[in-house]
Amino acid sequence: MNIETVGVVGLGNMGLGMAATLARKGFKVIGYDINDARRAAIEAAGISFVPDLTDVLRRADALVFSLPLARDVEAVVTAEGGLLSRTDRKVVVVDTSTSDPGTTRRLAARLEQAGHALLDAPVSGGPSGAAEGTLTMMVGGSEADYALAEPVLSAMSARAPHVGPSGAGNIVKLVNNLLVAAHLVTTGEAMRLSEAAGLSAEEAIKVVNTATGRSAISEVMFPRWILSNSFDSGFAAGLMRKDVRLAMELAAESGADLPLSAHVAQIWATTREAIPDAADFTRMADYRTTNGAK
């Protein structure tokens, strides 16, 4: 089935970049966001802003969701007069939100009953990767639906592996972000140790990045957003707190004992006053203070 018109629901930092990339790569893109104030920026990116969510859900050949919470995804999927009532064609929903596997599987089953499909396809790469079409996507769902959505996935990403059945993409993303959350804490502490012992973080990080302690935090985030004191990655601390919470809920549901991760989760939860939810999440690794905040 040809996909010509893609509807993007949620046009924030990530959604707008993905929508603009899809438009640049030849798709007709229609978009909806709950915040009408974004309309000028949306239209400047070559996207047709549609003020009625139901209109987007009924017109698109495929849909991309970029929403904050699982309940937001559910509200869009089940919107009255929207996708569940369509019978003209099969629509594949590519949900790039970070959600919980249980909600994804339940919504995927409802969409399948209505003749549609849901792929959980959370992303890594930030707003710059969304704008440049270089995201990494972690895709869960059936192989047949993955193949149907391949043109859209390829347009938005540099890598979009099919990792397993419905919910598998969410699992991988939560595992990934739990590691990121921990690495921000441990790398920040390691650099604080270096500074306290008399070696600058700038010099220490150069060596770490040629040795076994390196990670994406030390190689990318420290030079770009932490050492530079810019803290403008585009990903909010509140979103990382949400992802860590989801990861720990998944651990509890799965019976996995994660004592170190539980401590990391506690650190993220108890630093909200020092690092507000609206602050950039990279502030957690600020080695210049004892609590990760400026």
* For the chain, domain boundaries: 5-165, 170-285
Distance of CA 186 to the CA centre of its chain: 22
- pLDDT at residue 23, as a whole number: 95
Low-confidence ranges of the chain (pLDDT < 70): 290-294
Looking at residue 289, what is its pLDDT? Answer: 75
Which long-range contacts link 268-271 to residues 24+ away (Cβ below 8 Å)?
268/181, 268/237, 268/240, 268/241, 268/244, 269/241, 269/244, 269/245
- Give yes or no for a contact between 293 and 286, defined as CB atoms under 8 angstroms apart: yes
Question: Dihedral sign, CA of 150, 155, 156, 160?
Answer: positive
Give the relative orientation of helices 168-196 and 259-270 as an angle to the nearest 10 degrees.
Answer: 70
pLDDT at position 164, please? 97
Q: In the 8-state DSSP scheme, what is residue 1?
A: -
Q: CATH topology for 5-165?
A: Rossmann fold (3.40.50)
pLDDT in tens, 198-217: 999 999 999 999 999 999 99
Tokens coding 70: 């699982």
Q: Which amino acid is at 112?
A: E
8 membership: H or E segment, kind and range = strand 5-9
Domain 170-285 = CATH 1.10.1040.10: yes
Predicted confidence (pLDDT) per residue in 81-99, tens digit: 999 999 999 999 999 999 9
| pLDDT score of 288 | 86
The CA-based diameter of the chain, rounded to the nearest angstrom, is 68
**Cβ neighbours for 214, distance < 8 A, ≥ 6 positions apart:** 208
- pLDDT for res 294: 43
Report pLDDT for 290.
53
Rounded CA gap, 100 and 284, in Å? 24
Q: What is the pLDDT of residue 280?
A: 97
* Structure confidence at residue 293 (pLDDT): 46
pLDDT of amino acid 24: 95
> How many angstroms separate the CA atoms of 169 and 174, rounded?
9
Q: Among 19, 14, 16, 49, which Cα is nearest to 32's?
A: 49
Partnered with residue 7 across adjacent β-strands are 30, 63
pLDDT at site 38: 86
In sign, the C-alpha dihedral spanning 41, 69, 62, 119 is positive
Handedness of CA 251, 92, 70, 106 (dihedral sign): negative
Give me the active site residues, please: 173
Angstrom distances, CA of residue 197 to CA of 190, 192, 217: 11, 9, 21
